[in-house]
Amino acid sequence: MAIWRFVNLIAATLVTGSLVLVGAAQAGSGGSIAWGKPTEVISFDPHVSGDGASWSFFHLVYDQLLSTDDDFGLAPGLALSWEEVSATSYRFHLNPDATFSNGRAVTSHDVVANFQRLTNPESGGVWGKQLGEFEAIEAEDDHTVRFDLALPNPVFLKVLPLTPYSILPMTEFEAGTFDPAVDILGSGPFMVAEHLQDESWTLTRNPHYHRAGHPLIDELVIRILPDDSARIAALRDGRVDIATFANPDTPLLLADVPGVEVVVQNTTNYFRLDVSAIEEGSPFTDLRVRQAAHYALDREAISNIVFGGQAIVDYPVPAGLGYEACRDDPFYVMPRDERLAKARALLEEAGATGARVGVIGSSTLMIYPLIAQVVQANLNEAGFDAFVEQIPAAEWYARVFAEDTDFDLAVSWFAGYTDPAIVLFWWTQAGAAGWAHGYTITDDRLDALVARTRMLPEGEERNDALAEVCSVINENSNVLALVNKPDYVALRSDLIEARIGRNESTFDNLKYAEEFSRLD
């Protein structure tokens, strides 16, 4: 037996040694891969940044405490494991190999200071609110952190993989040698070597990355190519190996490009229609008019006309998360003819037939004006006199997300994240404060329902609560979910090997970038 143990030990040593050698051979020998990205990173500070274009970049250089898998489940991030000590206490065990790209190990202190910054209203902004209140955040040792919550929050763990909860090097921040508004320094697979604004980012492999032998490539070049055609041309002539698109025609446009594979990445994100419910003079201050607009919406038409049938009808509780809530709501299930009749009747009852309303479809995303056009047609069928307003982002923000709003309807989108309670929080007064309070009504019943949903663990009771929340949201007809928002990732599968997640809930479009490799 002892001989066999010895033989096994030798074999295991040889295998392990070979793997290490292979890993070492692979590391740093993978060349460069280029990503054609449609939008530039606007804000460099993940704690306050609020745009998905920046978020998809942050995941390449920053780590979060937890991550998600392809089924929206939780996966290890900087924390290799975690435990629920009690209903209000969680303990995280950090990866001892986790190191920032400057060579300093990630410690519990970094985690604690990050969450203190996030929960400070001035520095963390809106994202601290999603975490709830803490009794304490403590470093038990260099690699163990304990969070004591003020109230039970089953959603707490599911919030942690979100981009704003990226772990920054807080020791350097406190020493004044790292400014998150200007510098980018994380523990993720890549680090920034060069940035040419509006042109490109050159990321090189983080030599201290905690996953041995990874990333497989030496360099990831991000080329900012806002025009779809420019990205298609770049894919065709090999200037980029991967490109991301929001355009639903992407698979068609790339069908003839040799070697290109298009992956439709399902997300929990969905488009929505914001309705101006409290602005003086808006016809939508009348609940009947809001409901008329809601009944008039034809989500199937949006999917078919704008997305070529590839999008699915979505609900306040994101369809991508697999919940059944909202599915039997009359605003959705009633046949289209009946809904139109109902809309016309409501509009007439409110004396608002022929009401002239603008539908803002900002030019920020090429999809917005297209959705706005279908919404316009839907509304006109019901007796509105709707028109489309195509305006730039800054004007849209100023007219909609302000104290004094100036709009009727506006197309936008919500990130669905990893749990419905996270997105539903934006419907509450606390969640809407500071950005949507200018157009959303105050509904204490809804606030209480969402708070309850947040406290409930997975199960029948939570499903019922979600259904109730959905029903109230739809009845209020203030923020209307439309259709889901898939992302399209095109890659030169003849040149590179790249695993692309089929489902994504945290804007980590290139989640497996550390495993990308060149075939040539």
Partner 1 sequence: MRLLLHIAARMGMALLTMLSVSLIVFVAMRMLPGGFEMIILGPIQTEEARAVITEQFGLDRSLPEQFLSWLVAVLHGDFGISMITRIPIADEILRRLGATVQLTAMAVITALCVGLPLGVAAGLADSSTSVRTCGRLVGALGASTPDFVLGVALVYIFSVWSLGLTVGGYVPFFEDPLANLRAMILPASTLSVFGIALILRTTRESVLTVMTEGYITGAVARGDDPASIVRRHVLRNASLPVMTVATIYLSLLLGGAVIVEILFTVPGVGLYTWNALLNRDYGVTQSAVLLFSGVIVTCNMLVDIAYALVDPRIRGRRQQ
Contacting residues toward partner 1, per CB under 8 A: 40, 42-43, 48-51, 121-126, 181-182, 195-199, 224-227, 229-234, 236-237, 239, 256, 392-401, 412, 426, 433-436
CA distances from 64 to 77, 123, 213, 265 (A): 6, 18, 20, 21
Tokens of 187: 């523990």
Q: Which is nearer to partner 1, 117 or 143 (CB)?
A: 117
CB of 412 to partner 1, least distance (A): 8
Please report which helix (H) or strand (E) contains residue 455, including its range. helix 444-455
Q: Which is nearer to partner 1, 214 or 399 (CB)?
A: 399
The rounded distance, in Å, linking the Cα atoms of 135 and 122 is: 19
CB of 295 to partner 1, least distance (A): 27
Query: Of the candidates 199, 197, 94, which has an alpha carbon nearest to the alpha carbon of residue 145?
Result: 94
**Are 245 and 228 within 8 A, CB to CB?**
yes
Bridge partner list, 489: 244, 263
CB of 405 to partner 1, least distance (A): 12
The rounded distance, in Å, linking the Cα atoms of 281 and 352 is: 12
Q: Which is nearer to partner 1, 49 or 187 (CB)?
A: 49
CB of 28 to partner 1, least distance (A): 25
Q: Which is nearer to partner 1, 16 or 363 (CB)?
A: 363
Q: Which is nearer to partner 1, 224 or 500 (CB)?
A: 224
CB of 490 to partner 1, least distance (A): 13
Q: Which is nearer to partner 1, 198 or 280 (CB)?
A: 198
Q: Helix or strand or coil: residue 448? A: helix
Q: Which is nearer to partner 1, 384 or 425 (CB)?
A: 425
CB of 380 to partner 1, least distance (A): 27
CB of 212 to partner 1, least distance (A): 34
Please report which helix (H) or strand (E) contains residue 445, including its range. helix 444-455
| Structure letter (DSSP) for residue 103 | S
**Are 96 and 20 within 8 A, CB to CB?**
no
Residues contacting 265, CB < 8 A, separation 6+:
486, 487, 488, 489, 500, 501, 502, 503, 504, 509
